[in-house]
Amino acid sequence: MGDDARGAAKKTHRGQSGQSRGPVKGRGASRPTSARPAAARRAPATPTIDVHDPEGVRLQKLLAAAGLGSRRACEALIASGRVEVDGQVVMELGVRVDPAHAVVLVDGMRVQLDSTHVTIALNKPKGVVSTMHDEQGRPSVAQYVADRTERLFHVGRLDADTEGLLLLTSDGELAHHLSHPSSGVPKTYLAEVQGRITPGIAQRLQKGVELEDGPAKADKVTIVQALSHLSLVELTLHEGRNRIVRRMLEEVGHPVTKLVRTRIGPIRLGDLKQGRTRVLSQVEIGSLMSQAGM
């Protein structure tokens, strides 16, 4: 074989960009490259944090107690890398954590592990004030949780004329976060109003109306029913100013005749009967905390 032929055998095929695409098949092999191993090319890993607390409780036991499934199912969650503790993915089954301080996420959603607190959903009837004690002697929400020994805080308020979902909790930090205007937790209301609500009115409520204490707008407005003399409209908003839903609807010419709060963040009123309560699961509380940015 001549020198030209031997040189051709060593040439590699190049595309239009001029970059090498490897030797031409069937014409020999080019000299092996000294490429760095794949592991060496990866970005440095984030330093791991030791989240194990020898005095704590096994993670799978806490997850099972929080209602995420059987202990075996929770072990599978951990082994599959779906559980984080204090920002660190945990895949070892022997890890113990302090349920009072550890922040645990499953699939990115927080799980409430601290069972020392209780959070209760109440379907508040009309005519009941949203306080644990009323100096004027009016009916208060305290009568619906009289059997509870914990000190309970109401999460936000519903005016006496408004019915529906009200949360009560023994967790003062949770109550503070959910009641704060910056929490960003949406609340949904079903309003019965006078007159026919039109799509134009719904759009106006979403764009915003001017009230005496500043502008207000709904995140979402759904017309459930529109008759000539009354309408049902569902509004979702983040604001929690006093009687804001009633004032917004009054501003657009449709006074409220009945108002029910049906949802706070991920917690729904559902079929909970008026005057009845139910204890939220730790999974529900965790979802609520996640939405409140806790």
Q: Where in the sequence numbering do the catalytic residues fall?
A: 159
Across the chain, how many H-helices and E-strands are there?
Answer: 8, 19
Torsion-angle region of 141 (φ positive above 0: left; ψ -120 to 50: alpha; else: beta): alpha
Residue 161 C-alpha from the chain's centroid: 29
Cβ atoms of residues 289 and 174 within 8 Å:
yes
CA-nearest of 182, 230, 223 to 205 is 223
Give the H/E segment covering residue 13.
strand 12-14
Token match 């009568």: residue?
A: 143
Q: Kind of pairing, strands 104-106 and 83-85?
A: antiparallel
Q: What angle do CA 236, 239, 245 make, to 5 degrees?
A: 60
